[in-house]
Amino acid sequence: MSDHYVKVKVQLEQMKSSGEGVEKEEADIIEDEVLVASSPASVSPIQASGTPAAQRETPKTSVTCRNQSKSRSKLGKDEKNTCTKQDSVPALQGTIVASNANSGKPVNRKDNEQQMLQIKGTGKMLQGKTETNGNTVPIHLPEDIKVGPHNKEDANKVAKRRKPVTVDTFKAKTSLEALKLSIRQLKWKEFPVGRRSACDIYWHGVSFHDNDNIISGQVNKFPGMIEMLRKINLTRAVRTMQELFPEEYNFYPRSWILPEEYQLFSTQISLAKDSDLSQKPTFIIKPDGGSQGDGIYLIRDPGDLRVIAGSHTKQSVVQEYIHKPLLIDKLKFDIRLYVLVKSLEPLEIYIAKEGLSRFCTEPYQEPSQKNLSHVFMHLTNYSLNVQSGNFVHSDSLSSGSKRTFSSVLYRLASKGVDIKKVWSDIISLVIKTIIALVPELKVYYQADIPPGKPGPTCFQILGFDILLMKNLKPVLLEVNANPSMRIEHEQEVSPGVFEYVPSPVDEEVKVGVIRDTLRLMDPAQKKSLTSYPEHQQEEMLGSPVRGTGEEGRVLPSMCLKQVFPKYTKQFSYLRTVERITALFLRFLGVKGNMRLGPTGFRTFIRNCKLSNSHFSMATVDILYIDITRRWASMLPDSREAGMGLQAFVEAFFYLAQRRFKSLPLREQVVSLLEVCEAQLENQGRGDPGGALPEDSTASTRRSVSCGRTQTGRTQHPHHMSTSAPGQALSAPQLCSPATPRRASSQDYRLHQRLRPTHKGNVEN
């Protein structure tokens, strides 16, 4: 023991009887050997009294500049000018004595030694693998968290000082300003022109492939998300779910895909008009790859469709127009909500508690032949309405042509609207939509990041555009893979002179979304918070963050709320297509491939024992060739041969209907899934039936995304219901225009799907 420590012990012995001035003198005596803990709760299971603020102000919870200057005189020149910086001294193991000042009791030597041992143990823990620079920071836990030996160590891991998280913003593009502001608030380190060594987070502006040389860290884009959120592919994904769960997916307007479904669209509209002459439906045309309102227009008759190149109709989606939207100040508006998909497996979804309400700039009237071309009346796109002379840029969050969603909810609540019900319906819409997208996203994920090979993990912020009908039912308009995160807008400061000026409403919403997304994706936080309940995680993420040379500053509470897996029980029964996807991925054979070859399809049929005397392998080959050729004709630009996931799902539905003829489609599919999974499980245990492409069920699960578990097979009461019959076109119908898939026929050609394309997308 050093002479200095002997001196300290002697002085403590002399003062223990009086108990006066102990803390002050200890703070003066103990110099650079001291590691300071800001809260007694973080170093002892006994909760000290007093407020956290008062505890932070006591002498024992801070090292004075005078004491620090003594140790800094021995360090490098770069560290001499900062009084508040906490230096790391590996040889010093935190010997501070927790005080009983708040209780008014003298310090007991036995208690001192016990508490010193506790802090020494904490000091060793803080030098673990995740502590890369050896520094520590004060730990601030919410008052309602009971700190025990286990929780104490976890809390220290969460709040300890470490090297700042590094963010590569070279490809951030239009979200750059909000991203820079968020990084500054978090005291993280930005690399605006990239970095030779790996960063913790890579922020891309368009797609996962903005930088194809990333082998570690986290990327803010999922492979395939742009492709899946194009108008046609989103419609296909939702339509598949509508066939299985028509009542649950009635939030998406009735849609047709052009040009392939033009005849179906024209025939259905003509029949509806002939049966009811008073019907005058309106339809909205959305180009497949359009954004920012480009190319959108309204029609009342199929013959009004515009053509390009003289003969070919542009690939588009036709939807029934919602002619009775909710109005505020006589204006139509929509809602832009930001949704974070944190991971695919396990599926994690967060919804921002605040969003944007974007208003039209012309009073709304129901569509007629005279006003169909009035885009400022019917279309809520910001990029269109900002060109109107009536657009109002307001510094207020509750007025103008762009407002916060909470201000709209406040007005609705003042009129007696059940706001909780509105939010509940919106959350349900978001979860169901993402569940519809996940199967195809898993295929893209394993193709770009094959299991067992180095690669980053992914997350993504999506922009959901939602319209509230007059009866307050939410309707999904579209989902944007690259929602605009600009926090400024263009303004004419003098005739012909424009400049970008800050937008208070955009900054209020978007900065919080990006900042809290980064907080959730913090590599250290992701590991250390998993053992805490959600409400405690949010409070801990909102705890003070200290930066070099700056006093602690409390970040705002989390604006992102977890909705999945929080509500897993309510929605797990909808994940039927994911189970089909697990079979598809199992039999792909070559890792990284997205198409199933004829050998893989035959192996699937054979291993699941789906062939018999009435369904021979020759018939299986014909089925495969027929479906594959038809899908290839719908994708002239595709160079990949084989059967994609959507084609496999269609084939699976056909096989289910052929095997279980007396059941409704949903039960047919679930029954066939159980047959296939049982056969594969038996073979995995070594039972006869043929070798599997994968060694076991565990190997199969590793092939799904990042090697996670499959969806459970628990049946939901809704499985027993049958598909609802088709409805008349007297009002906008939120359902698929196609008849139930081969319900009365085994002609699997009736219902067509389109594989996702590989075209890019721009911010919307």
Q: How far apart are CA 619 and CA 280, in angstroms?
A: 46
Report how far residue 625's alpha carbon sits from residue 358's, in angstroms, rounded to the nearest whole number: 48
Residue 25 tokens, joined: 């003198």
Which amino acid appears at position 16 of this protein?
A: K
pLDDT for the residue numbered 727: 41
Work out the pLDDT band at 732, boundaries 50, 70, 90.
very low
Q: Which residue has the higher pLDDT, 700 or 496?
A: 496
Q: Beta strand 189-191 with 166-171: parallel, antiparallel or unpaired?
A: parallel
Looking at residue 86, what is its pLDDT?
A: 41
> Residue 529: what pLDDT?
53
Comparing CA positions, the residue from 638, 635, 657, 650 lying closest to residue 752 is: 650
Q: How confident is the model over 288-339, as pLDDT tens digits? A: 877 777 789 999 888 888 764 444 557 899 999 999 999 999 999 999 999 9
Mean pLDDT of 584-601: 87
- Max mean pLDDT among 256-270, 533-547, 745-759 falls in 256-270
The answer to whether 337 touches 405, Cβ cutoff 8 Å, is yes
State the Cα–Cα distance between residues 442 and 710, nearest whole angstrom: 12
Q: What is the rounded CA–CA span in Å between residue 81 and residue 72? A: 9
Predicted confidence at residue 570, as pLDDT, reads 94
In angstroms, the Cα distances linking 205 to 423, 636, 763 are 29, 28, 8
Phi-psi label, residue 288: left if phi above 0, alpha if psi -120 to 50, beta otherwise: alpha
Q: What's the whole-number mean pLDDT along residues 87-105?
A: 40
CA distances from 332 to 118, 358, 392 (A): 62, 9, 15
Q: What is the mean pLDDT of the chain?
A: 74
User: Which domains, and CATH codes, for the chain?
Assistant: 1-14+163-251+340-348+413-462+479-540+555-571 (no CATH), 575-680 (1.10.238.10)
Residue 239 has pLDDT above 90, yes or no: yes
Q: Beta strand 218-219 with 189-191: parallel, antiparallel or unpaired?
A: unpaired
Q: What pLDDT does 764 receive?
A: 59
Instruction: Choose among 630, 680, 678, 671: nearest CA to 652.
Output: 671
Tell me the C-alpha distance between 595 and 192, whole Å.
38
Burial (CB count within 10 angstroms: exposed 0-12, middle 13-18, buried 19+), residue 504: middle
Question: What's the whole-number mean pLDDT along residues 233-239?
Answer: 95
Please tell me whether the peptide bond between 565 and the residue prior to it is cis, using omega within 30 degrees of 0.
yes
Question: What pLDDT, in 10s, does the model give residues 497-536?
Answer: 778 888 999 999 999 999 999 999 998 876 555 555 555 5
User: Please, are residues 491 and 501 in contact by the beta-carbon 8 Å criterion?
Assistant: yes
| Residues 7, 245: Cα–Cα separation, whole Å | 77
For the beta sheet containing 283-287, the strands, ordered from the edge strand earlier in sequence to the opposite edge, are 255-258, 316-320, 283-287, 297-299
Identify residue 398 by its one-letter amino acid code: S
Q: What is the 3-state secondary structure (H, E, C) of 537-565?
A: HHHHHCCEECCCCCCCEECCCCCEEEEEC
Quote the CA–CA distance of 530 and 122 in Å, as a whole number: 20
CA gap 359, 764 in Å, rounded:
16
pLDDT band at 686 (very low <50, low <70, confident <90, very high): low
- Which residues have a Cβ under 8 Å from the Cβ of 71 and sit 6 or more positions away? 31, 32, 87, 89
Let me know: does 624 contact 598? Beta carbons within 8 Å: yes
Only one residue has tokens 């196609």, namely 738
User: What is the per-residue DSSP string for 361-425?
Assistant: SS------TTTTT-HHHH---HHHHTTSTT----SSTTSSSEEEHHHHHHHHHHTT--HHHHHHH
d(CA 7, CA 427): 64
pTM over 0.85: no
Closest CA to 255 of 229, 227, 228, 235: 235
Q: Which two tokens stand for residue 392?
A: 């109002």
Task: Indicate the pLDDT class of residue 648, thresholds 50, 70 and 90.
Answer: very high
Read off the amino acid at residue 448: D
CA dihedral 639, 641, 647, 652 (to 10 degrees): -160
What is the Cα–Cα distance from 616 to 598, expressed in whole angstroms?
A: 15
The pLDDT, as a whole number, for residue 489 is 83
Q: CA dihedral defined by 245, 251, 254, 256, rounded to 10 degrees?
A: -80
Which residue in the block uniquely carries the two structure tokens 């033009």? 262
Q: What CA–CA distance (Å, rounded) separates 255 from 257?
A: 7
Q: Which of 422, 496, 435 shows the shortest CA–CA distance to 466?
A: 422
Between CA 243 and CA 653 the distance in angstroms is 10
Q: Which residues of 275-300 are buried (b: 16+ CB within 10 A; e: fewer)?
A: eeeeeebbbbbbbbbbbebeebbbbb
CA pair distance 516, 513, nearest whole angstrom: 5
The more confidently predicted of residues 357 and 314 is 357
Residue 663 — φ and ψ, nearest 5°?
Answer: -100, 155
**Strand boundaries in 172-250, DSSP class E:** 189-191, 201-204, 218-219
Contact between 586 and 578 (Cβ < 8 Å): no
Could you report the per-residue pLDDT of 107-116, keeping only the tens digit for each? Answer: 444 444 443 3
Secondary structure letter of residue 179 according to DSSP: H
| pLDDT average, residue stretch 235-241 | 96
Q: With a cut of 90, say whether residue 78 has pLDDT above it.
A: no
Q: Write the pLDDT tens digit of every residue in 556-579.
A: 889 999 999 999 999 999 999 999
- Per DSSP, which regions of 542-648 are E strands? 544-545, 553-554, 560-564
State which H helix or E strand residue 334 sits in. strand 331-344
Strand partners, 185: none
State the sign of the Cα–Cα–Cα–Cα dihedral 79, 80, 84, 86: positive
For residue 21, the model assigns a pLDDT of 45
CA-to-CA distance for 271 and 283, rounded, in angstroms?
16
Q: Dmax of the chain from CA atoms?
A: 103
What interhelical angle do 576-586 and 419-448 show, nearest 10?
0
User: How far is it, in rounded angstroms, from Cα 222 to Cα 211?
Assistant: 12
The answer to whether the bond into 732 is cis (omega within 30° of 0) is no
What value does the mean pLDDT take over residues 588-612? 89
Token pair for 110: 């036995």
Of 308, 258, 554, 251, the closest CA to residue 426 belongs to 251
pLDDT, residue 213, reads 83
Residue of 98, 76, 89 whose CA lies nearest to 23: 98
pLDDT tens digits for 167-205? Answer: 999 988 877 899 999 999 999 999 999 888 999 999 998
316, 308 in Cβ contact below 8 A?
A: no
pLDDT on residue 541: 52
